[in-house]
Amino acid sequence: MIRLLLLMAVFSSAVPAFADPEYEVVRDWPALPEGKSLGLCAGVGIDSHDNVLVFHRNGRAWSNPFPTEPIAGPTVSLIDGRTGKLLASWGAGEFIMPHGLTVDHEDNVWLTDVGRQQVFKYSHDGRLLLTLGERGKPGADKEHFNYPTDVTVLSDGSFYVSDGYRNTRVVKFNPAGQYEFEWGTKGSGPGQFNLPHGIAIDGGGRVVVCDRSNARLQVFDPRGGFIAEWKGPEIGRPYGVSVDAHGHVFAIDGGDQLKGKLDRSKAVELDAAGAVVNTFGSFGAGPGQFQLGHDIAVAHDGSVYVAEGKGQRVQKFIRRSSGDREGGGAASPSPR
């Protein structure tokens, strides 16, 4: 009996306690106008006021080949992070296949369009500030991309682009958009990629890349030197990644797309060393569930936002209070 109890104690301490997730969905968020639909939500980011920007396809479906004409309706929506009210929309007639969205420290909005083969920097209200790449022309040199997926921006204005579906590389640019260096080749070894799909930086300058089809996160120093690989069943196939103010890494596992079928989707929180500390969400169409989670963003107040592909929505999650985790009390945002 004593031996059995010891074995049970060891097993329980080795298994993370994810049965009671620390995050819960905020129902009825966002509060979009009646009849308003975003379509597939590809990218999500947070501005300095904790408002939420979503890059969405407004009814357009992925196709091969891509259409050549831009989406007629707005593709970038600004949503009040607290109330869920739609504050503004822009981007009509500009984008062919929206993908990644990042908000920098000055509230500029960075977008990638895998249909146009370009990366863009816009002001918060939708004025074009910078364009990289040649429209509709794929390439693997210093001036072209091939299905670029995401951007992450440093405090000095320099930035990294994950490029992406075809080039399997990460490219670094200076604040003016001039090429600096790159790393990555096709493969599954350290520093290699099989679809770098999302990218983020932490407070120490480490670059975290969603190596989606290799089912792992890779961590690099600012020059692209390999530091670590994080993978496992809790991480799954990461599509999007975000880092909070405390250095915790949040990723969204979009699941496998096998012959058009999705088998899972969940969000995961890791500490700065890559240990999984929490997972939340599951596959499905209900509140707090995901159908093809595509991107994730963490606000300054600790709220977590997940953009869904097939689910065609963005959902907000807040950390439960200690009272909720013990079975009582009302949900409230965490200061984390």
**Domain containing residue 33: CATH number:** 2.120.10.30
H or E stretch including 104? none
Q: What is the pTM of this model?
A: 0.90
- Could you tell me if 22 and 320 are in contact, meaning their C-beta atoms sit under 8 angstroms apart? yes
- Domain of 208 in residue numbering reads as 20-325
| Cα(237)–Cα(211) distance, integer angstroms | 8
- Strand pairing report for 207-211 and 226-230: unpaired
Q: For residue 153, what are the contacts with CB-CB under 8 A and spacing of at least 6? A: 102, 104, 105, 108, 110, 159
What mean pLDDT value characterizes the chain?
90
User: Which tokens in the block code for residue 63?
Assistant: 């196709």
Most distant CA atoms of the chain, gap in Å? 71
User: Which tokens in the block code for residue 303?
Assistant: 């709220």
What sign does the dihedral 210-214-220-222 (CA atoms) show? negative
User: Which tokens in the block code for residue 40?
Assistant: 């597939």
What is residue 168's DSSP assignment?
-
| Cα(1)–Cα(4) distance, integer angstroms | 5
Number of domains the chain contains: 1
Q: Which residue has the tokens 């096709």?
A: 186
Determine, yes or no, domain membership for 71. yes
Determine, yes or no, domain membership for 280. yes
CA geometry: angle at 61 spanning 252 and 267, to 5°?
Answer: 10
Determine, yes or no, domain membership for 336. no
H or E stretch including 283? strand 282-283
Determine, yes or no, domain membership for 13. no
- Strand pairing report for 159-163 and 148-153: antiparallel
Determine, yes or no, domain membership for 265. yes
Q: What is the pLDDT of residue 189?
A: 98
| Cα(9)–Cα(85) distance, integer angstroms | 48
Q: What is the pLDDT of residue 262?
A: 72
H or E stretch including 323? helix 322-325
Q: What is the pLDDT of residue 325?
A: 44
Q: Which residue has the tokens 């405090």?
A: 155
Determine, yes or no, domain membership for 15. no
Q: For residue 103, what are the contacts with CB-CB under 8 A and spacing of at least 6? A: 45, 46, 47, 53, 109, 110
140, 155, 75, 267 alpha-carbon torsion, rounded to 10° = 90
- Could you tell me if 152 and 210 are in contact, meaning their C-beta atoms sit under 8 angstroms apart? no
User: Which tokens in the block code for residue 248?
Assistant: 């915790």
| Cα(104)–Cα(195) distance, integer angstroms | 24
Backbone angles phi, psi at 278, to 5 degrees: -165, 145
Give every residue of the chain whose pLDDT is below 70, as ranges. 1-21, 258-261, 322-336
- The per-residue DSSP string of 37-84 comes to ---SEEEEEE-TTS-EEEEE-TT----SSPPSSPPSS--EEEE-TTT-
Q: What is the pLDDT of residue 193?
A: 98
Helix and strand numbers (H, E) in the chain are 2, 28
| Cα(113)–Cα(91) distance, integer angstroms | 12
